[in-house]
């Protein structure tokens, strides 16, 4: 397999660094790091089901948004070094615990390890693979996942390049997300399928987090997705924006989202005709939704 880390262009930043010698924008070297692996019961119903989604949180991120709820791992301040083989073992352990799927969170910068782990478990792992990413993806990288991923679960954060630049240092986010989601939908053959228990087997769910004071951006995202894909995808419209220490420098978003703001966006989606969508009830904004990065499920007998 090609060593995608030698001159890394996995994400749209295209740092081109040799991650064996220097860390990329994602903050990671060529050594795989994970922060937590467990049964996550607070994803969309068709992902978490009754048993939970077998979720693996990776360290590092190519976006590092100022409002990131997982900022500690996004900045590389938590995580444990493991091998690709150990990652494969983690997948099988989660399956043994009853996980409905394997849910890879912020995985792109560790593509080589993930493909190796999935190859290692081929024939033993028989639950869907969910690719849970920030939407800021290189479409050519997504093409490399064809045949490995069953469900794509990307964010689509911005249609406004100025907001993408301000909050994620990524003015090219809208263009990158459009191209990446298009490749994801093509791989899923423009349809979503579910098992008898309502768990998604194949398909695309695009998440969008509504930001305070930016309902217009949310409406633009929803309109683009619905005009482009209609009922070929699901949307997940989220209200769980949580202010962080970093958002203190951005007073316009340094507060929880109001019910009125969220309802305005959801009503807009309904008026457009969107029916394949998940919405959140009140009470989801809480730091209790932010995991503790204690290495649960990552290390074997306390060490690699």
Average of per-residue pLDDT across 231-238: 97
Whether 87 contacts 140, CB under 8 Å: no
Q: Cα separation of 167 and 53, whole Å? A: 29
Q: Cα separation of 133 and 207, whole Å? A: 10
Average of per-residue pLDDT across 144-165: 98
- Structure tokens given for 168: 């994620």
Whether 26 contacts 61, CB under 8 Å: yes
Non-local CB neighbours of 179 within 8 Å, separated by 6+ positions: 139
Average of per-residue pLDDT across 147-153: 98
Residue 303: pLDDT band (50, 70, 90) is very low
240-298 pLDDT tens trace: 999 999 999 999 999 999 999 999 999 999 999 999 999 998 655 444 457 789 899 99
Domains in the chain, ordered, with CATH? 33-289 (3.20.20.70)
Q: Can you state the angle between helices 173-187 and 215-229, rounded to 10 degrees?
A: 30
Q: Cα separation of 153 and 184, whole Å? A: 9
Residue 2: pLDDT band (50, 70, 90) is low
Residue 289 pLDDT: 59
Average of per-residue pLDDT across 96-116: 98
Q: Cα separation of 143 and 147, whole Å? A: 9
Whether 236 contacts 44, CB under 8 Å: yes
Nearest to 276 by CA among 195, 218, 192: 192
Average of per-residue pLDDT across 126-148: 98
End-to-end Cα distance, the chain: 23
Q: Cα separation of 4 and 113, whole Å? A: 10
Nearest to 115 by CA among 2, 36, 262, 9: 2
Q: Cα separation of 30 and 3, whole Å? A: 9
More confident site: 93 or 286: 93
Q: Percent of the chain, pLDDT > 70?
A: 95
Tell me: pLDDT of 302 over 70.
Answer: no
Tell me: pLDDT of 304 over 50.
Answer: no
179-214 pLDDT tens trace: 999 999 999 999 999 999 999 999 999 999 999 999
Residue 301 pLDDT: 53
42 — phi, psi (to 5°)? -120, 25
> Strands 33-40 and 80-81, how do they pair?
antiparallel
Residue 299 pLDDT: 87
> Strands 193-194 and 129-133, how do they pair?
unpaired
Tell me: pLDDT of 12 over 80.
Answer: yes
User: What mean pLDDT is reported for the chain?
Assistant: 95
Q: What distance lies between CA 59 and its chain's CA centroid?
A: 13
Average of per-residue pLDDT across 22-42: 96
Tell me: pLDDT of 30 over 90.
Answer: yes
Q: Cα separation of 104 and 101, whole Å? A: 10
Per DSSP, the chain holds a count of helices (H) and strands (E) of 9, 10
Residue 108 pLDDT: 98
Residue 288 pLDDT: 47
> Strands 234-238 and 277-279, how do they pair?
parallel
* Sign of the CA dihedral with 28 first, then 176, 251, and 257 last: negative
């Amino acid at each position: 397999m090609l060593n995608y880390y030698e001159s890394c262009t996995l994400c749209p930043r295209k740092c081109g660094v040799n991650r064996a010698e220097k860390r990329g924008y994602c903050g990671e070297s060529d050594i795989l790091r994970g922060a937590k692996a467990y049964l996550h019961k607070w994803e969309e119903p068709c992902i978490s089901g009754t048993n939970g989604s077998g979720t693996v949180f990776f360290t590092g991120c190519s976006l590092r948004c100022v409002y990131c709820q997982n900022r500690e791992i996004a900045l590389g301040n938590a995580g444990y070094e493991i091998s690709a083989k150990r990652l494969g073992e983690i997948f099988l352990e989660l399956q043994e615990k009853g996980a409905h799927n394997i849910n890879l969170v912020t995985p792109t910068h560790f593509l080589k390890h993930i493909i190796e782990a999935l190859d290692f478990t081929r024939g033993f792992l028989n639950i869907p693979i969910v690719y849970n990413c920030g939407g800021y993806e290189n479409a050519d990288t997504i093409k490399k996942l064809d045949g490995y991923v069953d469900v794509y679960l990307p964010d689509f954060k911005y249609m406004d390049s100025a907001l993408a630049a301000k909050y994620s240092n990524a003015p090219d986010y809208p263009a990158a997300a459009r191209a990446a989601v298009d490749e994801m939908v093509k791989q899923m053959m423009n349809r979503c399928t579910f098992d008898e228990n309502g768990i998604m087997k194949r398909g695309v769910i695009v998440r969008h987090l509504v930001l305070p004071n930016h309902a217009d951006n949310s409406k633009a995202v929803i309109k683009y997705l619905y005009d482009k894909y209609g009922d070929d995808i699901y949307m997940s419209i989220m209200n769980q924006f949580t202010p962080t220490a970093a958002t203190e420098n951005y007073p316009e978003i340094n507060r929880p989202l109001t019910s009125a703001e969220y309802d305005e966006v959801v009503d807009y989606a309904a008026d457009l005709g969107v029916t394949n969508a998940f919405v959140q009830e009140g009470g989801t904004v809480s730091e209790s939704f932010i995991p503790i990065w204690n290495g649960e499920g990552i290390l074997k007998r306390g060490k690699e």
